[in-house]
């Protein structure tokens, strides 16, 4: 069994959906995970915001805005009028549902139900299209097997349920399911957070012991730098699970940060492939350790740096424990940390409890907070005795005000903290220094 995942851009139009159908049609057994058509989840988020503030006009406008997009997709997908009518009736029910919530009684449950509709629409349209071209496939409703408890996948439940549903369709080799959506421990509709379809594919892959998970998107694999900000980036052929996890966590949008773990645990290779160029090699992520030196650079925005300065740190022990306890109390993960004899600097990206954290840290020392920072993360295999990378990084960034550097935490990550306004310059300078030949 293989698990394929197609992102929003890969199902963003009738033409793309037909391309996907061609790619997944074949004898090999497959579970195909689809995202919502590109932009749809953003619009659904906008819709939930309008409901929250009681803005009925925007609610009606957003819902009306769905129609032309899906009309075009349905028209492009189906020749037969029965299928056109069936698909139109299906989306009409969704528009009705999306416009039917009460603004004065709108909470998390309603919000999650709305956010789930994008994936429900794209998968149903794909299933109808496959039927229309006589491809034998079945819809595998994600809400019948994908469950989280305290936000974490319930692997035992998912494994039992997904295998039970699969065994009900012995004559089918091709299954279509929704990414991103799930039920929570209370049986309510929930999701795996934005970009979570990659995570769905990886969880499903682990639960069915897949031979491989393929993530199909609009680019030929993980590039050696962020193609949105740097020109001339190139795909990286091989990455270790840990390298891919670091890149995903530190901003490489092509992969959801949590999606590496389930496949790593089961040692299932993940391939990142391009729907628009299916022959391209892409990137293979596996347990193989390959190559030395820098493989890729990523950047994560929205970082807050906190510095705690205290002369009580001098010759003392237990100070860091007290600092960490504050973050533990507010369930706030720390990304980077550096220390001197009189100060600790660390970064967080979740600022929900920043005020409370700062208040408590002030009892330990003088606290300074810098918002709007970016972590630039350089990933690869760095053999410390031989590595020239540190020198190259200092060289590349010498003109920029670097706020923190984290090196040595692992042999495959060097992280640098800068003000967000320096991100694009830093990515480009590092690219030049680390990847481009010296003329």
Ligand X SMILES: Nc1ncnc2c1ncn2[C@@H]1O[C@H](COP(=O)(O)OP(=O)(O)O)[C@@H](O)[C@H]1O
Ligand Y SMILES: N[C@@H](CC(=O)OP(=O)(O)O)C(=O)O
Query: Closest distance between ligand X and the C-beta of residue 195, in Å?
Result: 6
Nearer Cβ to ligand X (132/284): 284
Among 3, 7, 335, 429, binds ligand Y (CB under 6 A): 7
Per-residue mark of binding to ligand X, 291-310 (x: CB under 6 A): -----x-x------------
Task: Look at residue 25 and give its three-state secondary structure.
Answer: coil
* 182 interacts with, out of ligand Y, ligand X, none, CB within 5 to 8 A per kind: none
Answer yes or no whether residue 376 interacts with ligand X by CB under 6 A.
no
Residue whose CB is less far from ligand X, 213 or 346: 213
Stretch that binds ligand X, among 5-13, 127-135, 151-159, 182-190 (CB under 6 A): 5-13
Instruction: Note whether 288 and 330 are within 8 A (CB).
Output: no
153 binds, among ligand X, ligand Y, none (CB under 5 to 8 A by kind): none
Q: Using H for helix, E for strand and C for coil, what is the string for 83-144?
A: HHHHHHHHHHHHHHHHCCCCHHHCCHHHHHHHHCHHHHHHHHHHHHHHHHCCCCEEEECHHH
**Is residue 196 within 8 Å of residue 180, measured between CB atoms?**
yes
Distance, CA of 261 to CA of 152 (rounded, Å): 12
Binding partner of residue 228 among ligand X, ligand Y, none, CB cut-off 5 to 8 Å per kind: ligand X
- CB of residue 180 to ligand Y, shortest distance in Å: 4
CA distance 100 to 288: 51
Considering the complex, what minimum distance in angstroms separates the CB of residue 198 from ligand X?
7
Q: Which does 180 bind (CB under 5 to 8 A by kind): ligand Y, ligand X, none?
A: ligand Y
227, two tokens? 């193609």
Task: Tell me: does residue 253 bind ligand X (CB under 6 A).
Answer: yes
Q: What angle do CA 319, 322, 324 make, to 5 degrees?
A: 110
For position 195 contacting ligand Y by CB under 6 A, the verdict is yes
Residue ranges in 19-78 that form contacts with ligand X under rule CB under 6 A? 35, 38
Judged by beta carbon, residue 50 or residue 426, the one nearer ligand X is: 426
- Tell me the residue nearest to ligand Y as measured from the CB: 8
Q: Which residue is nearest to ligand X (CB)?
A: 7
What is residue 421's DSSP assignment?
G
Among 2, 159, 166, 179, binds ligand Y (CB under 6 A): 179
Question: Which range, of 33-41, 80-88, 141-149, 158-166, touches ligand Y by CB under 6 A?
Answer: 33-41
Locate 361 and state its tokens: 């840290």
Annotated binding site for substrate: 41, 119
Question: For residues 154 and 246, which CB has a smaller minimum distance to ligand X in the complex?
Answer: 246
Least Å from the CB of residue 276 to ligand X: 10
Cα separation, 196 vs 410, whole angstroms: 26
Kind of pairing between the strands at 404-410 and 413-419: antiparallel
- Least Å distance between CB 130 and ligand X? 20
List the alpha helices (DSSP H) in 340-405. 354-361, 389-396
Binding-site annotation, residues: 5-8, 41, 119, 217-218, 228
Using CA atoms, how far residue 269 sits from 185, 210, 263, 351, in Å, is 30, 9, 7, 34
| 254 binds, options ligand Y, ligand X, none, Cβ within 5 to 8 A by partner type | ligand X
| CA proximity to 374, closest of 420, 428, 305 | 420
| Spatial distance between the Cα atoms of 243 and 412, rounded to a whole number of angstroms | 7
Q: Is 365 in the site for ligand Y (CB under 6 A)?
A: no
111 to 150, contacts with ligand Y by CB under 6 A? 118
Closer CB to ligand X, residue 298 or residue 326? 298
- The backbone torsions φ and ψ at residue 55, rounded to the nearest 5 degrees and listed phi first, read -95, 85
Query: Does residue 254 touch ligand X according to CB under 6 A?
Result: yes
Between CA 324 and CA 334 the distance in angstroms is: 9
Q: How do 238-240 and 30-34 pair as beta strands? A: unpaired
8 binds ligand Y (CB under 6 A): yes
Of the candidates 380, 377, 381, 390, the residue with the CA atom closest to the CA atom of residue 418? 377
Pull the structure tokens for residue 91.
């989306």
Site for ligand Y, rule CB under 6 A: 7-8, 35-36, 41, 118, 179-180, 194-197
Site for ligand X, rule CB under 6 A: 7-10, 35, 38, 195, 217-219, 222-223, 226-228, 252-254, 296, 298
């Amino acid at each position: 069994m293989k698990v394929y995942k197609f992102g929003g851009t890969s199902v963003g139009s009738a033409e793309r959906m037909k391309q996907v159908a061609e790619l997944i049609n074949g004898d090999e057994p497959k579970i195909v995970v689809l995202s919502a058509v590109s932009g749809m989840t953003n619009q659904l988020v906008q819709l939930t915001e309008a409901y929250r503030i009681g803005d009925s006009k925007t609610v009606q406008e957003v819902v009306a805005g769905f129609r032309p997009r899906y009309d075009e997709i349905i028209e492009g997908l189906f020749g037969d009028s029965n299928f056109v009518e069936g698909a139109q009736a299906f989306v009409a029910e969704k528009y009705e549902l999306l416009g039917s919530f009460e603004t004065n009684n709108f909470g998390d449950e309603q919000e999650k139900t709305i956010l789930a509709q994008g994936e429900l629409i794209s998968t149903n349209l794909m299933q109808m299209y496959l039927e229309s071209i006589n491809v034998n496939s079945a819809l595998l409703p994600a809400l019948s097997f994908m469950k989280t408890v305290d936000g974490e996948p319930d692997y035992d439940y998912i494994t039992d349920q997904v295998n039970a549903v699969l065994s009900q369709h012995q004559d089918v080799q091709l299954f279509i399911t929704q990414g991103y959506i799930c039920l929570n421990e209370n049986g309510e509709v929930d999701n795996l957070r934005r970009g979570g379809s990659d995570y769905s594919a990886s969880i499903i892959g682990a639960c069915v012991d897949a031979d491989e998970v393929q993530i199909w998107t609009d680019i030929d694999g993980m590039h050696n730098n962020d193609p949105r900000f740097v020109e001339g980036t190139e795909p990286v052929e091989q990455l270790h699970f840990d390298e891919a996890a670091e890149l995903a966590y530190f901003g490489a949008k092509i992969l959801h940060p949590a999606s590496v773990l389930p496949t790593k645990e089961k040692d299932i290779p993940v391939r990142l492939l391009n729907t628009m160029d299916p022959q391209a090699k892409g990137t293979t992520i596996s347990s193989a350790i390959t190559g030395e030196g820098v493989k890729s650079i990523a950047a994560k925005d929205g970082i807050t740096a906190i510095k705690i300065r205290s002369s009580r740190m001098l010759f003392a022990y237990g100070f860091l424990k007290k600092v960490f306890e504050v973050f533990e109390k507010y369930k706030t993960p720390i990304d980077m940390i550096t220390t001197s004899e009189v100060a600790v600097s660390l970064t967080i990206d979740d600022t929900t409890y920043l005020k409370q954290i700062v208040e408590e840290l002030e009892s330990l020392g003088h606290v300074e907070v810098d918002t709007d920072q970016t972590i630039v993360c350089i990933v690869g295999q760095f053999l410390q005795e031989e590595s020239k990378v540190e020198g190259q990084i200092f060289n590349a960034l010498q003109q920029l005000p670097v706020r923190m550097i984290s090196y040595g935490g692992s042999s495959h990550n060097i992280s640098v903290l800068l003000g967000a306004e320096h991100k694009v310059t830093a990515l480009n300078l590092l690219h030049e220094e680390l990847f481009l030949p010296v003329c």
